[in-house]
């Protein structure tokens, strides 16, 4: 989502202020840092990075801090780093060209409604288009700061999403990637008067676009994975068969403390239904270990879910308390040694499962959409179920679909040869 927000800001700056992006910050007239605040580490890093940028930037260059940390720290950023020119919250990015001309502006209104703002087109990739389908989040997971930095959930009207997808396809994208905090809660609330539609309907309408070959999305919420949604996922040939299902914990008790809205049994039931209906589906997840009160038995439940679900990809983290969240005040904090041991167990199990899953892919054939050129004579892309695959080849393969047979495996990238 931050990547897409950055594209939106670049589009506005290009169109209205004639800016162009550069990779060399020392020659830049404007340095934008688009921040995340989901975990503690990136927040701490912000101030050290700001110091470096300030020391090395061109004379007169402006520095803007944007995104979720901007929303939650606001004026504090300018207090701690007075050379920062403006602070722009995650919910206010449409105002980028306004704050540019307002010294020390702090725009962080989380009630600001950008759901119908017509951003200009700019994408960092020609082949894949990120498209926001909603802003904010209505959930109240007790560990999460996002509702405080991105505000209430509002869906972007379906006609705007379809127009954006049509434009992206006409500019060459064959794949779209729909973004939202809870994509499968789409349509719950619009800010204007719009036809009531849900995520399944949105997927069906987008699938009608000629020239669009693949649709991906993230993140769906396990709570909203009803049968209708899973059946559409299974039967719609344009929907890529990879699903991100953020588990967070395998313990029903911890899930309740986290206010996730589902149980261990519900989660496993949804995984089972998915695997039954889409045998080659790839399922990824997020796991937080050592949430306050997580007992050994609770942690074993998470291991049990991992064993039963056999996730293709696991993003795991130690719990870190975030400001303005309920869990910040929870007692029964888990000590850091226990947290480290649990994280290591999760990561070791994941590696074991990953190696086994990858080994089973040797000699399989996948249709790969090529998107990235390496400088060692290889080019890579993704299969429908999100496996990263590289082959020997050059730029004429970019934006092409080819059938590829896997000849060797690595942890994150498999190597193949084109057979068709
Ligand atoms: S669903 Fe929960 S974890 Fe995800 S953004 Fe919303 S509050 Fe945060």
Q: Which of 110, 136, 181, 256 to mutate to test the pocket of ligand 1 (most atoms within 8 A of CB)?
A: 181
148 C-alpha to ligand 1 centroid (Å): 10
Can you give the CATH number for the domain in which 41 is found? 3.40.50.12160
In the structure, what pLDDT confidence band is assigned to residue 197 with cuts at 50, 70 and 90?
Answer: very high
- Regarding whether 313 and 342 lie in a shared domain, the answer is yes
**Could you tell me if residue 191 is inside a domain?**
yes
Q: Which of 195, 215, 240 is the last residue of a domain?
A: 240
302 C-alpha to ligand 1 centroid (Å): 19
Question: Ligand 1 — pocket residues by CB below 6 A?
Answer: 137, 139, 141, 144, 146-147, 181-182, 221
**Could you tell me if residue 116 is inside a domain?**
no
Question: pLDDT above 90 covers what percent of the chain?
Answer: 94
Q: Which of 382, 364, 373, 370 is closest to 284 using CA atoms?
A: 382
**Could you tell me if residue 118 is inside a domain?**
no
- Locate the ligand 1 atom nearest the alpha carbon of residue 147 and give its number: 7
Per residue in 226-251, pLDDT (tens digit) is 999 999 999 999 999 999 999 999 99
**Could you tell me if residue 162 is inside a domain?**
yes
Per residue in 279-296, pLDDT (tens digit) is 999 999 999 999 999 999
Q: Which residues pair with 63 in a beta bridge?
A: 31
- Regarding whether 99 and 206 lie in a shared domain, the answer is no
Per residue in 133-168, pLDDT (tens digit) is 999 999 999 999 999 999 999 999 999 999 999 999
Q: What is the mean pLDDT of the chain?
A: 96
Per residue in 20-61, pLDDT (tens digit) is 999 899 999 999 999 988 887 888 899 999 999 999 999 999
61 C-alpha to ligand 1 centroid (Å): 36
**Could you tell me if residue 112 is inside a domain?**
no
Residue 283's pLDDT is: 98
- Regarding whether 254 and 230 lie in a shared domain, the answer is no
- Regarding whether 233 and 127 lie in a shared domain, the answer is yes
In the structure, what pLDDT confidence band is assigned to residue 84 with cuts at 50, 70 and 90?
Answer: very high
Domain of 377, in residue numbers:
365-418
- Locate the ligand 1 atom nearest the alpha carbon of residue 137 and give its number: 6
173 C-alpha to ligand 1 centroid (Å): 29
Distance CA 277, CA 233 (A): 9
**Could you tell me if residue 113 is inside a domain?**
no
Distance (Å) of CA 171 to CA 87, 165, 329, 341, 399: 32, 10, 49, 49, 12
- Regarding whether 235 and 134 lie in a shared domain, the answer is yes
In the structure, what pLDDT confidence band is assigned to residue 414 with cuts at 50, 70 and 90?
Answer: very high
Residue 41's pLDDT is: 80
- In sequence order, what are the residues at sequence separation of 6 or more whose Cβ sits closer than 8 angstroms to the Cβ of residue 82? none
Q: Which of 316, 338, 360 is the last residue of a domain?
A: 360
181 C-alpha to ligand 1 centroid (Å): 6
Residue nearest to atom 8 of ligand 1 (CA): 144
Total domain count, the chain: 4
Q: Which residues pair with 316 in a beta bridge?
A: 287
**Could you tell me if residue 173 is inside a domain?**
yes
**Are 80 and 47 spatial neighbours (Cβ–Cβ below 8 Å)?**
yes
182 C-alpha to ligand 1 centroid (Å): 8
Q: What is the mean pLDDT of residues 84-91?
A: 97
21 C-alpha to ligand 1 centroid (Å): 31
143 C-alpha to ligand 1 centroid (Å): 8
Can you give the CATH number for the domain in which 321 is found? 3.30.750.200
140 C-alpha to ligand 1 centroid (Å): 7
- Locate the ligand 1 atom nearest the alpha carbon of residue 219 and give its number: 4
- Regarding whether 265 and 224 lie in a shared domain, the answer is no
Q: Which of 2, 72, 137 to mutate to test the pocket of ligand 1 (most atoms within 8 A of CB)?
A: 137
20-35: buried (b, 16+ CB within 10 Å) or exposed (e) per residue? eeeeebeebebbbbbb
Residue nearest to atom 1 of ligand 1 (CA): 139
- Regarding whether 372 and 312 lie in a shared domain, the answer is no
- Regarding whether 175 and 83 lie in a shared domain, the answer is no
Q: Which of 141, 142, 183, 257 to mutate to test the pocket of ligand 1 (most atoms within 8 A of CB)?
A: 141
Q: Which of 174, 205, 240 is the last residue of a domain?
A: 240
- In sequence order, what are the residues at sequence separation of 6 or more whose Cβ sits closer than 8 angstroms to the Cβ of residue 74? 87, 89, 106, 108
Asked if residue 420 has pLDDT above 90, the reply is no
The 3-class secondary structure across the chain, one letter per residue, is CHHHHHHHHHHHHHHHHCCCCCCCHHHCCEEEEEECCCCHHHHHHHHHHHHHHHHHCCCCCEEEEEEHHHHHHCHHHHHHCCCCCEEEECCCHHHHHHHCCCCCEEECCCCCCCCCCCCCCCCCCCCEEEEECEECCCCCCCCCCHHHHHCCCEECCHHHHHHHHHHHHHCCCCEEEEECCCHHHCCCCECCCCCCCCHHHHHHHHHCCCCCCEEEEECCCHHHCCHHHHHHHHHCCCECCEEECCCECCCHHHHHHHCCCCCHHHHHHHHHHHHHHCCCCEEEEEEEECCCCCCHHHHHHHHHHHHHHCCCEEEEEECCCCCCCHHHHCCCCCCHHHHHHHHHHHHHHHHHHHHHHHHCCCCCEEEEEEEEECCCCEEEEEECCCCEEEEECCHHHCCCEEEEEEEECCCCCEEEEECC
- Regarding whether 135 and 68 lie in a shared domain, the answer is no
Can you give the CATH number for the domain in which 396 is found? 2.40.50.140
**Could you tell me if residue 115 is inside a domain?**
no
Q: Scanning the structure block, which residue is given the tokens 């970019």?
A: 398
Q: Which of 144, 145, 248, 326 to mutate to test the pocket of ligand 1 (most atoms within 8 A of CB)?
A: 144
- Regarding whether 97 and 62 lie in a shared domain, the answer is yes
- Regarding whether 79 and 55 lie in a shared domain, the answer is yes
Distance CA 31, CA 24 (A): 10
5 C-alpha to ligand 1 centroid (Å): 18
Residue nearest to atom 2 of ligand 1 (CA): 141
- Regarding whether 102 and 158 lie in a shared domain, the answer is no
């Amino acid at each position: 989502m931050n990547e897409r927000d950055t594209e939106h800001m670049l589009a506005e700056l290009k169109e209205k202020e004639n800016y162009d992006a550069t990779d060399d910050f020392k020659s830049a007239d404007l340095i934008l840092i688009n921040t995340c605040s989901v975990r503690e580490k990136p927040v701490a890093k912000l101030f050290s990075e700001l110091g470096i940028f300030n020391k090395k930037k061109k004379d007169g260059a402006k520095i803007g801090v944007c995104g979720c940390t901007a929303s939650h720290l606001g004026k504090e950023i300018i207090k701690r780093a007075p050379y920062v020119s403006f602070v722009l919250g995650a919910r206010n990015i449409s105002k980028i060209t306004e704050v540019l001309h307002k010294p020390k502006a702090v725009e962080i209104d989380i009630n600001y409604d950008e759901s119908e703002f017509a951003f200009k087109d700019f994408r960092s990739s020609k082949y894949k288009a990120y498209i926001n389908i909603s802003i904010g989040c209505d959930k109240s997971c007790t560990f999460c700061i996002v509702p405080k930095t991105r505000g209430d959930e509002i869906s972007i009207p379906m006609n705007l999403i379809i127009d954006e997808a049509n434009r992206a396809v006409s500019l060459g994208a064959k794949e779209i990637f729909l973004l939202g905090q809870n994509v499968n809660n789409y349509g719950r609330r619009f800010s204007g008067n719009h036809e009531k539609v849900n995520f399944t309907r949105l997927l069906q309408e987008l699938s009608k676009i000629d020239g669009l070959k693949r649709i991906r999305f993230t993140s769906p919420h396990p709570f909203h994975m009803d049968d209708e949604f899973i059946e559409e996922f299974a039967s719609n040939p344009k929907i890529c068969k990879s699903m991100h299902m953020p588990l967070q914990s395998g313990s029903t008790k911890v899930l309740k403390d986290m206010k996730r809205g589902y149980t261990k049994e519900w989660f496993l039931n949804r995984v089972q239904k998915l695997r039954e209906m889409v045998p080659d589906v790839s399922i990824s997840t997020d796991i937080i270990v050592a949430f306050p009160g997580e007992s050994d038995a609770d942690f074993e439940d998470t291991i049990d879910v991992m064993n039963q679900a056999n996730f293709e990809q696991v993003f795991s983290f130690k719990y870190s308390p975030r400001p303005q969240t309920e869990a910040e005040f929870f007692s029964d904090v888990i000590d850091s040694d226990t947290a480290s041991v649990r994280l290591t167990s999760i990561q070791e199990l994941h590696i074991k499962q990953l190696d086994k899953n990858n080994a089973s892919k040797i000699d399989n054939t996948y249709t790969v959409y090529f998107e990235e050129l390496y400088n060692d004579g290889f080019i890579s892309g993704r299969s429908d179920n999100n496996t990263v695959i590289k082959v020997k080849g050059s730029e004429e393969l970019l934006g092409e679909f080819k059938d590829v047979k896997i000849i060797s495996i690595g942890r994150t990238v498999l190597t193949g040869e084109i057979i068709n």
